[in-house]
Every structure is written in structure tokens, then in C-alpha cells.
Amino acid sequence: MSAPRVLVVDDEASIRFVLERALGQEGFEVVCAAGLAEARRSLEAERFAVILCDVRLPDGSGLDLVSEVAATSRPPKVVVMTARESMEVAVEAMKRGARDFVVKPFDLDRLAVLLRELTRGPAAAPGAASPMPETPPRTRLLGSAPKMLEVFKAIGRVAPSDVTVLVTGESGTGKELVARAIHDNSPRAAEPFITVNCAAIPPDLMESELFGHERGSFTGAVESRKGKFELADRGTLFLDEVGELPLPLQAKLLRVLQERVIERVGGVRPLRVDVRIVAATHRDLARMVREGSFREDLYYRLNVVPILLPPLRERPGDVGLLARALVAKWGPELARQPVELGRDAIDLLESYAWPGNVRELENVLKRALLFCRGGVLTAAEIREATFPGSPVAEVSEPVRPAAAPPAAAEGMPPAASPSLEEQVAAEVRRLLARPQGGAGGIHAALMRPVERALLAAVLEHAGGNQLKAARVLGMNRNTLRRRIRELQVPVPAKRRNRRRS
């Protein structure tokens, strides 16, 4: 059996050199091209199983090559490479027919595994990538963490169709941004995108809000009014917090999904609507189905394509990326000048678990920008801006504190508290994921803040009595004093017991 043939298209000679040798050692036959013109000549002369193509090329965009290849009768599978941490590029690549998307610098072992999977799998169906209208990017989803790249790929795959999507994730993760991205990259992009927050509308008004009403249908209905479904006709309707819908409304929503018709409150004439549905929830709908509070048939109608949005604590490296973007967005307005994020500020932000996710990060930065006194936002200004007792304000070292996990949302099973060993392992992985993670010093970076927190907690327990604290710790007092001095551990004022006369 002949070796799978791979065409590598990249203008950087070093990238071509590395990929040719690394993939060759993995059993692939590799042909390299430095640009679009050379790649097209290679494709005319030979057949390839996979094309590994950079986006930015000297004679055009690699995305154009993706479109050209997808239009052929037996297209090779395309994997797009880019150094840009951009949702727009990832989604556009998937829309045009790419099979996957990798961000430089990539792991060569993982890339080889991906290529082996693609060369073993079935060929892409002809015409799998339908032509899409070019739309300006209106949605700003950022991220380079592996779980976010999977979200971007999913958006690109589902956007061209009308399939119903269910976006799940914790509060504050950006579920509406995902829904908007699906709409903005779909054939419906020029049509309305209508949002309904099912948790914010009183149950007695929900039916009128969704389906509209006729004049005189109830007290106060002085004129006919279109509902959200009619307003979203030919566009996309985003049902946020769909798990909050009462059961009677769930039955009516199911009918709309099945028949694509609605009836206004007080109306007698069915109205046909052409609407794409994207729903979202932070609740466990499968559990609600088992408990009888959510219809099973509606659940399966909504959950055609699920997209799970990861919490910020599971997105290594994304806190700094998001923070820089948010500071660039809000700095001119709130600090009245362009502002950059200091290195100490990034370390502080990356050390916190962000139970409120991106929404909490944005709120903290907006407050901090009001306190910013120069062109660089510092960790001290972030602490100054947070409320007294805030977990962000209390973080003093660039390491995530061993705090309790965020409380489970209503209707979701409570998250199991990670063991100390699991927390340490997670922190080591975070430190190793940093650009300087492999340069050494991991032991000190982890143990210094852990020891500092240990000594501070025991001193607080001992009421500032260092002799008592030393006994609890199992060390002598001189050693404790030295470590307090070296680690700059705050010592609480010593409590004195007053004797009654």
C-alpha cells in the first residue's frame, strides 16, 4: 500500500523543512509548495490525500485554495494552518470545506495523528462546502485553547446549514456570542438575529412574547403585535436559557419546530415562519428530562447539534488574550486613553479561577480601568478596583488558589471538589503551558505561594503566636521566622487573653 501523499503549502522555508522531515518519518509522502501558484501546479500534476495549507501566503489567501479544492469532484482533505488566534479564520476555513484547523506553533505528534485519522477516513463528499456569502466579522470570539478551537470548528461546520443548535455552558462563558457567530457566518447573515431571554420574561407574558397577539386577545392588548418568531422570519432566533420555559410553552415550541407554523395569542390563522433556532442553557437539560421538568421530545429537537462552551478555567492561555482585547476595547472610554496590560496584571488575572467566566473578567477590568493612572494597567490597580474581600483582590502570587469550585447552577449536579493532588497537577499543567514553562523554576513557582499560604493560615489560626504556629507546623521557631521573612508572610497581631480579676 502506497504512503499517503500530503501537500504542504507554506511560504516559510523552515516550516516546510520541518514538516517534510517530520511527516516523512511518520510514513507520509510529502510535497511542498511555497505559495498558491506552486500548489495549483502540484495539484494539477498529482493527487493528494491531504493538503496542509497556511492562510497567509505571498500570492493570496490559503482560504481561496480551500474553496477551489472543495469544488473539485474528488477533493483531498484540507487542514488549515495559521498563527492567528482568530475565530473568524477558523470559522471561514470550516465554512469553505476545510476538515480541520491548527494554530502555530503546533504539536508535530498531534498533527501526525490528525493526518493519519484523515487519511484513514472516508473521502469528503463532493460539494460538501456550499458557497457562502462574504460577511464582515461582527462577532468577537477569542481563544487559542484547544477546547475553544473545537468550538470554532463546530461553528464553521454548522453555520452553513439550518440545523438546530444547542449551546451549553456555565453562565458568563459567551453563549450568545456563539449564537451570533453561527448567524453571522450563515446564509441568513443579512436577516434578523433576534434574542429571547426565557428567564427574564414572566410566564404569563411568554406566549405573547414568542408568538405575538391579536388586538383584544387579553386585557391591555390594544393592538396586534408580532412575536419574536415573526420578527426573526428568514433569520435566526436565539432562545437563551431555554431550560426556564414552562412546560405548556415547551409543547407549543415543539410544534413550531416540527411544523414551522405559529399562532398568535387570540388568533385563528396559522402563520408560517422560516426561522433557524439556536438555543442555549446553563442547566442540565438531560437531568431535567429525567426529573420531568423538560420535555424529552423537545430536548431531542433542540439538541440536534450540541456545542459545549468551556469555562474560562479550562482555557489555558486565554485569560491573557481576552484581557488584552478587553483592555483595548474599554481603555479609551473608561481610562480616557489607550491602555496596555502590565505583566504583573496578566499574572494576577491568570492566577484566578474566574467562576463568573468571561463576564466576570470583563467586569473586573472595566472597574480597574477607572482606577488606571497611566498607560499601563497594573496588578495593584486591579486589586484597588475590586471590592474588599474579592477573591481577585486577595490573590497575591501568580498561582491559582486552592479555592472551592464555583457553586453549581440551579438544576445542575454539584461539581465534585477536586482533591489537593488534582489541584496541584492542574496548576503544574498551567505553569508548563506558559511560554516560559519549560525554562525551569516550576518547583519554586509552585511551592513558594503554597508555603506562603500555609504559613499565613497557620499564623492566623495561632492568633499571631509564632511559637504555637511552629508547634502546629512541626518546625522550630527560628526556621519559621526565617521563612516568614523570606516569603514576606503577613503576621497577624498577637492576640492576648485578658485574665479576669
CATH number of the CATH domain containing 450:
1.10.10.60
Specify whether the CB–CB gap between 186 and 159 falls below 8 A. Answer: yes
Residue 336 and residue 465 in one domain = no
Q: Answer whether residue 406 shows pLDDT above 70.
A: no
Query: Is the same domain home to 105 and 14?
Result: yes
- Statement to judge: residues 262 and 385 lie in one domain: no
Q: Is the domain of 19 the same as that of 119?
A: yes
Q: Is pLDDT above 80 for 343? A: yes
Q: Where are the beta strands (DSSP E) in 243-357?
A: 261-262, 271-272, 276-281, 305-308, 340-341
Name the residue range of residue 479's domain: 441-487
Q: Are residues 158 and 78 in the same domain?
A: no
* CATH number for the domain that contains residue 253: 3.40.50.300
Instruction: Convert the pLDDT of each residue in 48-75 to its tens digit.
Output: 999 999 999 999 999 999 999 988 888 8
122: pLDDT strictly greater than 60: no
Residue 48: CATH number of its domain:
3.40.50.2300
Reported confidence tier of residue 10, pLDDT bands at 50, 70, 90: very high
In this prediction, residue 109 carries a pLDDT of 76
Same domain, 251 and 294: yes
Choosing from 291, 308, 325, the residue where a domain stops is 308
Residues 197 and 245 in one domain: yes
Check pLDDT > 90 for residue 276. Answer: yes
Which pLDDT does position 213 carry in this prediction?
79
Supply the pLDDT for residue 307: 96
| pLDDT tens column, 146-188 | 888 889 888 988 998 999 999 999 999 999 999 999 998 899 9
* 185 and 52 within one domain: no
How many domains does the chain divide into?
Answer: 4
Is there a domain that residue 435 lies in? no
Determine phi and psi for 53, rounding to 5 degrees.
-125, 130
Q: Does the global pTM surpass 0.75? A: no
Of 286-300, 344-358, 433-447, 474-488, where does mean pLDDT reach its minimum? 433-447
pLDDT band at 434 (very low <50, low <70, confident <90, very high): low
Stated as kind and residue range, the H or E segment containing 475 is none
Q: What is the layout of strands, in order, in the sheet containing 29-33?
A: 29-33, 5-9, 50-54, 77-82, 100-103
Same domain, 335 and 255: no
Residue 440 is predicted with a pLDDT of 53
Residue 402 lies in a domain: no
Question: Tens digit of pLDDT for each residue in 35-50?
Answer: 999 999 999 989 999 9
Q: Strand 276-281's sheet: what is its strand order?
A: 193-197, 236-240, 276-281, 165-168, 305-308
Residue-averaged pLDDT of the chain: 81
**Based on the domain organization, do 386 and 468 belong to the same domain?**
no
Same structural domain, 155 and 293: yes
Is 477 part of any domain?
yes
The domain that holds 375 is classified in CATH as: 1.10.8.60
In a domain, 416, yes or no: no
Kindly report which listed range (13-27, 291-305, 346-360) carries the lowest average pLDDT score: 13-27
Q: Which residue has the higher pLDDT, 379 or 371?
A: 379
Q: How confident is the model at residue 416 (pLDDT cuts 50, 70, 90)?
A: very low
Instruction: Report pLDDT for 127.
Output: 35
pLDDT value at position 204? 80
Tell me the pLDDT band of 456, cut-offs 50, 70 and 90. confident
Regarding whether 178 and 51 lie in a shared domain, the answer is: no
362 vs 205, higher pLDDT: 362
Side chain identity, residue 160: P
Largest CA distance in the chain: 103
- Mean pLDDT is lowest, of 62-66, 133-137, 204-208, for 133-137
